[in-house]
Amino acid sequence: MEEPDSGSEQRRLFTHPFTLIRRIFGHALFSSLTRRIVFFNLAALIVLVAGIMYLNQFREGLIDARVESLLTQGEIIAAAVSASASIDTNSITIDPEKLLELQAGQSITPVPKDEDLEFPINPERVAPVLRRLISPTRIRARLFDADANLLLDSRHLYSRGQVLRFDLPPVNNDSSSFTDWITRLFNTILQPGNLPVYREAPGGDGSIYPEVMNALTGVRGAVVRVTDQGELIVSVAVPVQRSRAVLGVLLLSTQAGDIDKIVHAERLAILRVFGVATLVNIVVSLLLSSTIANPLRRLSAAAIRVRRGAREREEIPDFSIRQDEIGNLSIALREMTTALYDRIDAIESFAADVSHELKNPLTSLRSAVETLPLAKTDQSRQRLMDIIQHDVRRLDRLISDISDASRLDAELARSDAKPVDLEVLLSSLVDISREIRSGKKAVKIDYVIDQKPGSNQHFVVNGHDLRLGQIVTNLIENARSFAPADSGRILVRLSRNRSRCLIQIEDNGPGIQAEDIDRIFERFYTDRPEGESFGQNSGLGLSISRQIAEAHGGTLRAENVMDPATGRITGARFMLSLPVETST
């Protein structure tokens, strides 16, 4: 097979950028957990930014500030306009009393009253003042008389020597950039829908503006309108008064789009912040995902390898240093995998031991069966039949103990542990053991409870009473088998410390060989006393007892009882330690 060309491989990667990105970043960007983390983080950020842009008070505050500014400027300009108004009178009033006081040849100068005077606004006198006050600003000022007729418009005011310049409309009014179209659409969506549409006054008639009509009554007002292009225009109307007489109305308006430009700039700033926050959010999400998805992926891959089966023990990644849920999951998986491998090893070892132990009686049974037809005398045939019956009983005993040992773990896992009072349990088991006489040695069994006077100690553990009773029964019967036939004695002692209950079963038999103290708990190990026939025990009793003790969180060990004076072995002692129930 020919090796692939490296050049073609590079071309294929560059023609498939998605494959290249996947190879560079691995599964960090494409795992389901990463996509979910990035999506929900970005969704929350988008909702937040959309709410800020739609519900923020910047535009309303800007409009209010603009209204206050226009009202202040309107008051100043209106005062200047009223001061520039000319004085006119339509009648002269003379006081009759002063006429009677005149002497011959004297005359009186008539003085008009204030109510007989009128102050008409002279556009020629007001125009220079209005132009001087308006020119530094981008505000449009319109002056209406008392009948709401337009007198002056700042758009048409110009000084001597000023060059007038008007912007021509674009060649194609419909041609606009995509950015402008997006901006108008964005402003239209975010613009309040209850604003009136701005219209120019036809023929200079200011009566179409409600604020102008209100100002003619001496009340100033403001109105916010929107153009056909969606641009805001703020208008304020201020009455022009002199001596409490309304001479006209000054209408100040912002240029279309002035406020929108400020709001648009503010929104662009928010979008820039949103862009930076989005990049930071994505990077943080990827980092967060890498600290979650990558360990989970490694744990999952290791679990799959364990499920498929490996020739050697598969090591689960250790993340216990994280001190979080993933660390706890790693610890749980490691412990579960260790227990699983230990269980597999125990099953394999148990199967090998069972096979070995079953072969011995089966071999003996097969030999006896094959020899039986060749026996010539009745005595030989009877001896062979006795061997066959003995091997059958031994097989039955082995199969029963093997069955009990094999279902022990499953039984302990399925049944719920309950509080067990060891004082009551041991008392019942000792009484039952004392009553056993047929086929057993008649030994003396003593039961002692070590409890301090006046103390109220409870010997309660959490477990399965039948299985705990099985341990004690096995230990008592094992001690009975090694105790002397004429002076056999068994001592059952119950004591407790702060956190554990201790059961000691002691006999006065020959004790245990030092090299066999640990071997006696192995499966199928038998070391029977003299005089006991072979095959009476399967060698599983002590092994099952230790297995039950460890399943309850306890320990089972053995030692020899020594005579302090002579240092001679005077018996054997088995010690069962169990944790006390926490509620006691």
Tens of pLDDT, residue by residue over 219-229, are 888 888 888 77
> DSSP letters along 119-145, please?
----HHHHHHHHHHHHTTSS-EEEEEE
- 24-33, 112-121, 178-187, 554-563: which is most confident: 554-563
The pLDDT value recorded for residue 348 is: 76
**Residue 340 confidence (pLDDT):** 82
Confidence grade of residue 160 (pLDDT, cut at 50, 70, 90): very low
**Mean pLDDT for the stretch of residues 292-310:** 80
Q: Which residue has the higher pLDDT, 27 or 129?
A: 129
- Res 14: pLDDT: 47
Determine if residue 143 is left, alpha or beta; phi over 0 gives left, psi from -120 to 50 gives alpha, anything else beta.
beta
Specify the higher pLDDT residue, 239 or 177.
239
Q: DSSP class of residue 149?
A: B
Q: Please, is 520 exposed, middle or buried when counting C-beta atoms within 10 Å of its C-beta (0-12, 13-18, 19+)?
A: buried
How many Cβ atoms sit within 10 Å of the Cβ of residue 482?
Answer: 21
pLDDT reported for residue 469: 87
pLDDT value for 534: 45
Quote the pLDDT of residue 24: 44
- Note the pLDDT of residue 485: 79
DSSP 536: S
What was the pLDDT predicted at 503?
92
At 9 the three-state DSSP class reads: helix
Lowest mean per-residue pLDDT among 82-91, 359-368, 422-431: 82-91
- Indicate whether 296 pLDDT > 80: yes
Predicted confidence band of residue 38 (pLDDT cuts 50, 70, 90): confident
Count of other CB atoms within 10 angstroms of residue 173: 7
**How crowded is the C-beta side of 401, counted as CA atoms within 13 Å?**
25
**Bridge partner list, 248:** 145, 240
How much is the pLDDT for 115? 45
Distance from C-alpha of 233 to C-alpha of 148, rounded to nearest angstrom: 20
Residue 230 — very low, low, confident or very high, per pLDDT cuts 50/70/90?
confident
- Angle of helix 541-551 relative to helix 378-406, nearest 10 degrees, comes to 10
Q: What is the mean pLDDT of residues 50-57?
A: 62
**For the chain, what percentages of helix, strand and coil (3-state, to nearest 5) are there?**
50, 15, 30
Arithmetic mean of pLDDT, 436-464: 78
> When comparing pLDDT for 484 and 311, which is higher?
484
Return the closest-CA partner of residue 267 out of 337, 385, 147, 183: 183
Interval 380-423: pLDDT, tens: 888 888 888 877 877 777 777 677 766 666 666 666 778 889 98
Is pLDDT of 263 > 50?
A: yes
Q: Which of 480, 488, 421 is nearest to 449 (CA)?
A: 421
Q: Taking Cα atoms as reference points, which of 348, 464, 460, 461 lies closest to residue 413?
A: 464
- pLDDT at 109 (0 to 100): 53
Give the per-residue pLDDT at 199.
Answer: 85
**In this predicted structure, what is the pLDDT of residue 261?**
78
Burial degree of 37 (CB within 10 A; 0-12, 13-18, 19+): buried
pLDDT tens string 490-548: 999 999 888 889 999 998 888 888 777 878 877 766 665 555 554 455 567 788 888 88
- Whole-number pLDDT of residue 319: 84
Bridge partners, residue 574, by sequence: 505, 558
* pLDDT over threshold 50, residue 234: yes
Written as six digits, the tokens of 371 are: 């020899």
User: Which of 45-59, 82-96, 197-211, 440-454: highest mean pLDDT?
Assistant: 197-211
Residue identified by tokens 């096979």 is 355
Q: Per-residue confidence at 231, pLDDT binned at 50, 70, 90?
A: confident
Q: What residues are paired with 88 via a beta bridge?
A: 118
| Three-state secondary-structure class, residue 77 | helix
Instruction: Considering only residues 256 and 23, tell me which one the structure prediction assigns the higher pLDDT.
Output: 256
Average pLDDT, the chain: 76
475 or 312, which is more confident: 475
pLDDT at residue number 576: 92
State the pLDDT at residue 352.
Answer: 74
Per mean pLDDT, which of 268-277, 353-362, 571-580 is the most reliable? Answer: 571-580
- For residues 151 and 248, the answer to whether their CB atoms sit within 8 Å is yes
Grade residue 275 by pLDDT with cuts at 50, 70 and 90.
Answer: confident
pLDDT interval class at 299 (50, 70, 90): confident
The residue assigned the tokens 């000022």 is: 141
How much is the average pLDDT of 424-437? Answer: 84
Indicate the DSSP class of residue 312.
S
Taking residues 97-124, report their average pLDDT.
56
pLDDT of 535:
46
Is the dihedral angle over the CA atoms 268, 269, 273, 279 positive or is it negative? Answer: positive
* Cα→Cα distances 311→124, 304, 454, Å: 108, 14, 60
The CA-atom distances, in angstroms, between 400 and each of 411, 412, 466 are 16, 18, 17
Burial environment of residue 313 by CB neighbours within 10 A (0 to 12, 13 to 18, 19 or more) = middle
**pLDDT greater than 60 at residue 99:** no
- Cα 195 to Cα 225: distance, rounded to the nearest angstrom: 6
Please state, for a pLDDT cut of 70, what percent of the chain lies above it. 72
Mean pLDDT of 353-380: 78
pLDDT at res. 13: 46
> Is a pLDDT exceeding 50 seen at residue 4?
no
Collapsed DSSP state (helix, strand, coil) of residue 327: helix
Other beta carbons less than 10 A from residue 568's beta carbon: 11
Does residue 21 register a pLDDT over 80? no
What is each CA distance from 535 to 201, 217, 370, 392, 505, in whole angstroms?
A: 122, 125, 21, 11, 25
